[in-house]
Amino acid sequence: MEFVPGPAITRVLCADCGIPIVPNSANLCVACLRNTVDITEGIPKQSSVSFCRNCERFLSPPQAWILARPESQELLAICLKRLKGLNKVRLTEAHFIWTEPHSRRLRVSLTIQKEVLASTILEQVFEIEYLVHNTQCPDCTRLAAKNTWKALVQVRQKVAHKRTFLYLEQLILKHGAQKDTISVKEVRDGLDFFYSQRSHAIKMVEFLNGVVPIRTKGSEQLLSTDTHSNTANYKFTYSVEIAPICKDDLVCIPPKQARSLSNISPLTICTRVGASFQLLDVSTLKSVEVSGQVYWRAPFSSLAGMGDLVEFTVLDIDPVGTTRGRLVLADAQVALAGAFRSQASLNDGEVEMDYETAAGRTQIFHTRTHLGGILQPGDAAMGYYLTSSNFNSDDFATLQADRIPDIVLVKKAYPNRRKKGKPRSWKLRSIAKEQGEEGDTGGGRGVVGRMGGRDQKKVDEDYELFLMDLEEDPELRGTVNLYKAKDVNMKDATDGGRRRRHGQYGMDVDEVDDGPVPLISGEEEEEEPDFPEVKLEELLEEFDEMTLEDAP
Q: Which domain holds residue 58?
A: 38-132
User: For residue 362, is pLDDT > 50?
Assistant: yes
Structural domain contains residue 110: yes
Same structural domain, 116 and 258: no
Q: How many domains does the chain have?
A: 2
Kindly state whether residue 481 falls inside one of the protein's structural domains.
no
Strands (E), 292-337: 302-304, 310-324, 327-336
pLDDT confidence of 153, banded at 50, 70, 90?
very high
For residue 470, the cross-strand partners are none
Q: Check pLDDT > 70 for residue 183.
A: yes
* 106 and 255, same domain (yes or no): no
For residue 451, is it within any domain? no
Max mean pLDDT among 270-274, 323-327, 507-511 falls in 270-274
Q: Which helix (H) or strand (E) holds 133?
A: strand 120-135
501 is a domain residue: no
Give the span between the Cα atoms of 187 and 193, in whole angstroms.
Answer: 11
Count helices and strands (H / E) in the chain: 11, 30
Q: Give the separation between CA 354 and CA 128, rounded to whole angstroms.
A: 85
Q: How far apart are CA 236 and CA 223, in angstroms?
A: 10
In a domain, 407, yes or no: yes
Backbone angles phi, psi at 111, to 5 degrees: -120, 120
CB–CB of 13/21 below 8 Å? Answer: yes
**What pLDDT score was predicted for residue 213?**
92
Weakest-pLDDT range from 25-34, 247-256, 489-498: 489-498
DSSP state of 296: H
> Tell me: the pLDDT tens digits for 202-244?
999 999 999 999 999 999 998 888 888 888 888 999 999 999 9
**Average pLDDT estimate for 54-80:** 86
- Close Cβ partners of 104 (under 8 Å, ≥ 6 residues apart): 131, 132, 134, 548, 551
Task: Give the C-alpha separation, 255 to 264, whole Å.
Answer: 9
Q: Which of 226, 158, 161, 34 minimizes the C-alpha distance to 463?
A: 161
Q: Are 330 and 371 in contact (CB under 8 A)?
A: yes
Give percent of the chain above pLDDT 70.
Answer: 77
Query: Mean pLDDT over residues 387-408, rounded?
Result: 87
DSSP state of 414: -
For residue 194, the tally of other CB atoms under 10 A from its CB is 20
Residues 122 and 266 in one domain: no
Distance CA 407, CA 306 (A): 15
| Domain end point (choices 107, 132, 157) | 132
DSSP string, 141-187: HHHHSTT--SEEEEEE--SS-SHHHHHHHHHHHHHTTTTT-SEEEEE
In a domain, residue 200? The reply is no
* CA of residue 128 relative to chain centroid, distance: 40
Q: Which of 102, 132, 162 is where one domain is finished?
A: 132
**347 vs 111, more confident:** 111
Cβ contact 124:34 at 8 Å: yes
Of residues 488 and 50, which shows the higher confidence score?
50
**529-547 residues labelled b (16+ CB within 10 A) or e (exposed):** eeeeebeeeebeeeeeeeb
Pair 405, 264 in one domain: yes
Specify whether the CB–CB gap between 113 and 29 falls below 8 A: no
Q: Looking at residues 2-21, what average pLDDT do you find?
A: 73
Neighbouring-strand partners of residue 291: 276
pTM over 0.85: no
**Region 426-454: what's the mean pLDDT?**
54
- Whole-number pLDDT of residue 451: 52
For the stretch 433-436, contacts whose Cβ atoms lie closer than 8 Å and that sit 24 or more positions apart, written own/partner, are 433/55, 433/143, 433/183, 433/184, 434/54
Higher-confidence residue of 215 and 432: namely 215
Instruction: Single out the residue of 228, 331, 232, 214 nearest to residue 282, CA to CA.
Output: 331
Q: What is the mean pLDDT of residues 262-287?
A: 91
Percent of the chain with pLDDT over 90: 20
pLDDT of residue 392: 85
In a domain, 435, yes or no: no
Given 92, 109, 132, the domain boundary residue is 132
Q: Alpha-carbon distance 438 to 434, whole Å?
A: 10
Q: Assess if residue 141 is contained within a domain.
A: no
112 beta partners: 91, 124
Asked if 412 and 326 touch (Cβ cutoff 8 Å), the reply is: no
pLDDT value, residue 146: 61
Query: Distance between CA 187 and CA 154 in Å, rounded?
Result: 9
Q: Among candidates 257, 284, 470, which has minimal Cα distance to 370?
A: 284
**Residue scoring higher pLDDT (225 or 36):** 225
Q: Which of 118-132, 282-296, 327-341 has the highest mean pLDDT?
A: 282-296
pLDDT of residue 446: 55
In this structure, are residues 134 and 140 in contact, taking their beta carbons and an 8 Å threshold? no
